[in-house]
Amino acid sequence: MTFPPSPVSHTIDVAKVYSTRSEICPCNGFHTAEIHNRAVVTMAEHVVMISGLVRKDGLCNSNAFGGNRLSPRKCPHDIDDRIQVRISMDQWTHVVSKSSYFIVIHARLIDGALDATVGGAGVLASPTSRLSTSLQGQLSTFELFAGGFSGWTHSLRRLQQLGYSFRHFVCTGF
């Protein structure tokens, strides 16, 4: 009889997969890391290959979660900061070309390159590449039939804590 993983071990397993790490090791199947985009190596119709550096000091880097290490203490592989990353043309157009830093999520290491085009992988803008100045004026949002307790409402509260100004209208029904 097999037992399902405990909620704590399941949470740690998820954190291992999706936490931004400061190293790329072939021992792991998938990788999430912040990359400093250095140069485009090749650009084809659907795929872009870039060379970059794994960022060691990024805002999102995490080597532990809840007192548990997310990576082995020592790996026998020679780990290099330089890495090639394969991304889709859409990922290039909408995220990577906009800033010199980006985060690759759940990418598979294939032939020495992180592949962000495989199922479940993707790219995000790095927190360092986001707007550093506050938006001018107040933003307005409108929610229909949510009752004011939706996920969007909670997101807006967090954005307000970060200094963004919102006028939020809620319509609970007619």
- Within this chain, do residues 58 and 113 fall inside the same structural domain, yes or no? yes
Distance, C-alpha 52 to centroid of its chain: 16
- Between 107 and 26, where is the model more confident? 107
- Within this chain, do residues 53 and 124 fall inside the same structural domain, yes or no? yes
Residue 111: pLDDT over 70? yes
CATH number at residue 71: 2.40.50
- Between 173 and 2, where is the model more confident? 2
pLDDT reported for residue 71: 62
Q: What is the pTM of this model?
A: 0.64
pLDDT category of residue 16 using cuts at 50, 70 and 90:
low
- Tens-place pLDDT, residues 43-82: 999 999 999 988 877 666 666 666 666 665 556 665 667 8
Residue 5: pLDDT over 90? no
Residue 169: pLDDT over 70? yes
In the block, tokens 């495989």 appear at 118
Name the residue range of residue 33's domain: 7-128
Residue 17: pLDDT over 60? yes
* Residue 68 to residue 75: CA distance in whole angstroms: 17
The answer to whether position 60 is within a domain reads yes
Residue 41: pLDDT over 90? yes
Q: How many angstroms separate the Cα of 152 from the Cα of each of 38, 62, 69, 124? A: 36, 27, 32, 20
In the block, tokens 């409402």 appear at 153
SS3 content of the chain, % helix, strand, coil (to 5): 20, 35, 45
pLDDT (average), residues 139-159 = 70
Number of domains in the chain: 2
pLDDT reported for residue 74: 56
pLDDT reported for residue 85: 95
Cβ neighbours of residue 75 closer than 8 Å, sequence gap 6 or more: 23, 25, 27
pLDDT (average), residues 88-103 = 91
- Within this chain, do residues 63 and 113 fall inside the same structural domain, yes or no? yes
The answer to whether position 73 is within a domain reads yes
